Chains A and B, each alone.
Chain A
Amino acid sequence: MRPSRHARAAVLFTLLAAVPSHAGRGITVKGSDTMVILGQRWAETYMNQNAGQVVMVTGGGSGTGIAALINGTTDVCQSSRAMKPDEKLKLRDRFQTTGIEIPVAKDGLAVYVHTSNPVRELSLEQLRGIYMGTITNWKQVGGSEATIILYSRENNSGTYVFFKDVVLGGRDFSPRAQTLPGTAAVVNAVSKDANGIGYGGGAYAKGVREVALKRTATAPAVLPDVKTVQDGSYPLSRPLYFYLRKKPEGDVRRFVDWVLSDAGQQLATQVGYFPLR
């Protein structure tokens, strides 16, 4: 289970009390909850390899991270979405810069069905209908006559929010969607449910089949893999960003360079994301 935000906040407060964030060597990283684990893994490994370097990572959400960047309370902001124009405007008012955007990894979300399910591809619109509860039978999307059983993630997960934003356009999931703790549980449930459908990180897909997705009804169907996620042709892929106020220098630069190096990218793959290259 991920450390609670409460615990993270407590750790942060303790650290802030002990080491004021702008007193020298510490690099503060704040933002996206989706990226917290990734950021923490980067920080741990980086600190192990570079004695004397301190990197402090906290979550709070992409919006919180960007606000912290604008307020000058964090060195690096992790964000799973691009900065909005009004956020850039605020940053320019404060610091005469629109910020530096550095993609650091790619995230791709797979849609799974049972291995016996004849449905091989879905358009985003069909997927939206399925998860909003307007499409309830597999027959409506070219499958067999059977009720679709929806599996979803708990509403605290970044994956849930991403799916809700991108696929449902911010609208509500069908109340019949069953929410399970963790992608692994979703995969397990779908692997045992002939009429189930679920979503989650591509790295987990064992014992289930990934569905190819189409942006529109006529677009080509694309399966998630390193290539399609990297070039963005897979519809449910997104870049994950670091945002900085100015061109990185000194310790911050060393950290960012390391994250972008093969070693850092390798680590991203281990945590379940896709490398940039």
Chain B
Amino acid sequence: MRRYIVRRFFISVVTVWTIATVCFFLLRLLPGNPFLSTTIMKQDMVDKMMRYYGLDKPLWQQYITYMGNLLRGDFGYSLKYAGRSVNYVIKSTFPTSAQLGMQALFFGIPTGTLLGIISAKRRGKELDYAFNALSVIGISVPSFIIAALLQYILGLKLGWFPVAQWKSFSHTILPTLTLSFGIIASHCRSMRTLMLEVDQQDYLKTARAKGLGETRIVFFHQIRNAIIPMITGLGTEIAGLLMGSYVVEKIFSIPGMGSYFVTSIQGLDYTMVLGLVVFQGTFVVFANFLVDILYVIVDPRIRIS
């Protein structure tokens, strides 16, 4: 077991390094450079800026310099926003995105799972249909539509919640709801499916035949077995949510990290993109690592050789 953990850890590190490398070179495939903007500059000015930032050096040399800095935890400075270090951007925006993501998760996952369990137990009845339909609606509507609708109805028309920005707890409610929609819906669906699958298993029939109470069956046997496949995707899901959502952050004017992902790629801000990607990559890879370990612990049947 321990050998497995050590090996997985090592592989995780290699994965992160691969992510950084692939991203580094992939970015350079895009034509253009960070200094092309609507302020027209002649080529010689652009060249001077490239030289100032060391972007005119041979690519492999830039790569080595970058990796060296990376090992020291230095993501460098943004190329588009002089003086703004990538570390600073991450430090300022990540807590906001993370808080939003976690709120959505802590609200969404239990709610969704619960609804899924209820839906499975009440299978065939009205409650099942209702939850079924609602959960499908929840994943059917693109998030910017949900966001706009919530903003319009709950924020503007009814005035229950602030429409945008990130200034107090009540400001977080609408964006959290928007994000939770999808989470609740997908977890409700998957939990219901898994519960139903497990439901027909022989060991449950045995338990029922033995005369065990339904509650005990549900909690001790059904849920635990159903949860295992759900854990698989949890790592990526959590990591993805903590990184912020461009759509939600844009519509609700939240100073999070999600928008930086998009704008830095659109602007070819190499250092910023790489910094964010490495940050996210580390998160995701290690989240998956933890989840895989959890998986093995929880389900003794699956021993990944």
A and B held together in a complex: no
- Interfacial residues, chain A to chain B (CB-CB below 8 A): none
